[in-house]
Structure 1
Amino acid sequence: MIHSYQSAREREPYATRFGIAFQPGPQQLVSPGEPGIFVRRPRADHPGSLKPPSRFEAVTGRWGLIPLFSKDGEDPLFEAPAETAAGDRNFLQPWKRGHRCVALVDALNIEGKDGPGSLQQVSRADGKVMALAGLWNGWRSPQGQCVESFAIFSVRCEAGQRHPALLHDAWLEDWLACPVEETTAFLRPYSPDAELVRRKI
């Protein structure tokens, strides 16, 4: 289970991995329900131009996906189980529409092996940012406001725990642009523990 994450604080990974000129600002600890930055393909209704200026864009949305059928925007979904999301009505429409996204993070705070209340911080051993696979949605409130939100995919790991789906660097563009039927091929445990650093917090 994901408790929170530290959003990437440098502009370099946005530029080198996605070709986006974007400055994220100071590092931010993002908790469920709070705004976070994610990268996606530009929306089809991208304002101001029939041809978006870039293949990808960085946007801010609420961590906690609001299903299209929600009446009040309550009970958002923070994690999308990789094994069942394609058939879950909560995620069905953004899944079918290919609304995949990537959240770049410096570190993850997840539930430790000792259960609720124990936390581990996870980061890459090489110090580079991690890329979380996500699913975004645009929900229209009763007042007519478009609220963009996202969930982070999770995969089942050892001892029945669920961890965020981490994407290899070489997968990022393919993840965002691949056909819908290829989505599940990217949602798997990331790597041996030797590539990640874990510490109790």
Structure 2
Amino acid sequence: MCGRYFLQRDPASLAGHYGTPSTSPLPNFASNWNMAPTQNGVVLRRNPQTGHRQMDLLRWGLVPHWAKDAKDGARLINARADGVAQKPSFREAFAKRRCLVPADGFYEWLTPKEARPRDPKQPFAVALASGEPMTFAGLWEGWKDPEGNWLRTYSIITTEANPKQAPLHHRMPVILPREAWPAWLGETSAGPEDLLGLLRPCPPEWLACWPVSKRANKVSENDADLIRPDPAVNAQPGLNDPSSYEPR
């Protein structure tokens, strides 16, 4: 799954990476090393009027347009790849409102075999070994409250974990390669089966993974030290290779 992630790059850097027009306004946002549900996050969508990619801030936790209130958003932070085309909460967004969700990486938690019930789980950071931003497959939705105010929200699509991620959790976010972005955003023609075919685990060699401080367990903790390797954790080699990650 994906319940917490981090994004430390600035708007201009992301705009260059994702090819948004230089004339397009950029949202104002700060680095976030502990992005949590219901917070505002950066997404990229296709503007149907211009045909260009557009960067916006939306709230994490999808609220279907037909929902009676916005409470469901806290539950719908993730959408399972095997249900996006059928489930009422996601099927219309899958057909019409797909987006890209940039991240520098995400957190996942490991429960040690010898852990006691009250022991905090060990957080791990997961990023692309190449140092590039991750690009999650996302869905977005617009919801209007009784006063006529619009709330725009998003969800991150998850799939089964690849062998690198599986020791931490049986699911992981869908990480789209650059060549899949046009189809996912609707810039090129793609049918439902083609789109569903993109929702698969990334190759395990793409990823770098390492243990970090248990401070990451608290949403209130939010600084660059959260993603520093924790030398006190003796993790197995496949879950401790931070040296291969260097943001670029």
Q: Give the TM-score of the pair, scaled to structure 2.
A: 0.70
Correspondent of 1:189 among 201, 204, 208: 201
Correspondent of 2:136 among 132, 148, 152: 132
What aligned pairs does 1:45-194 form with structure 2 within 5 A after superposition? 51-52=49-50, 55-76=52-73, 77-97=76-96, 99-112=97-110, 114=112, 117-157=121-161, 161-177=170-186, 178-181=189-192, 182-192=194-204, 194=205
Q: 4+ runs of 1 displaced by more than 4 Å? A: 113-116
Structure 2 counterpart SS, 1:67: coil
Structure 2 counterpart SS, 1:183: helix
How far apart in 2 are the matches of 1:17 and 1:155?
23
Q: How many residues align?
A: 191
Structure 1 counterpart SS, 2:143: strand
- Which structure would you say has the larger Rg? 2
How far apart in 1 are the matches of 2:111 and 2:140?
29
CA deviation map 1:83-103 (0-9, x unaligned): 111110111221222x11011
Q: Is the 8 A contact 2:63 2:70 kept in 1?
A: yes
- The Cα of 1:153 is off from its aligned counterpart by 0.2
CA deviation map 1:28-61 (0-9, x unaligned): 131011100100111x5xxxxxx43x51100111
Change in Cα spacing, 1:8 to 1:24, as seen in structure 2 (3 Å) is farther
How far apart in 2 are the matches of 1:34 and 1:128?
23
Change in Cα spacing, 1:107 to 1:67, as seen in structure 2 (3 Å) is same
Q: Is the 8 A contact 1:81 1:154 kept in 2?
A: yes
Looking at secondary structure, tell me which structure has more strand per residue.
1
1:5 corresponds to which residue?
A: 5
Report the AA paired with residue 94 of structure 2. W
How far apart in 1 are the matches of 2:176 and 2:98?
12
How far apart in 2 are the matches of 1:32 and 1:101?
17
How far apart in 2 are the matches of 1:172 and 1:8?
21
Report the AA paired with residue 85 of structure 2. A
Structure 2 counterpart SS, 1:85: coil
Structure 1 stretches of 5 or more lacking a match?
Answer: 45-50
- The Cα of 1:13 is off from its aligned counterpart by 3.5
Q: Name the Cα RMSD after superposition.
A: 2.2
- The Cα of 1:109 is off from its aligned counterpart by 1.0
How far apart in 2 are the matches of 1:135 and 1:35?
14
How far apart in 1 are the matches of 2:206 and 2:145?
42
Q: Is the 8 A contact 2:157 2:174 kept in 1?
A: yes
* Identical-pair percentage: 25
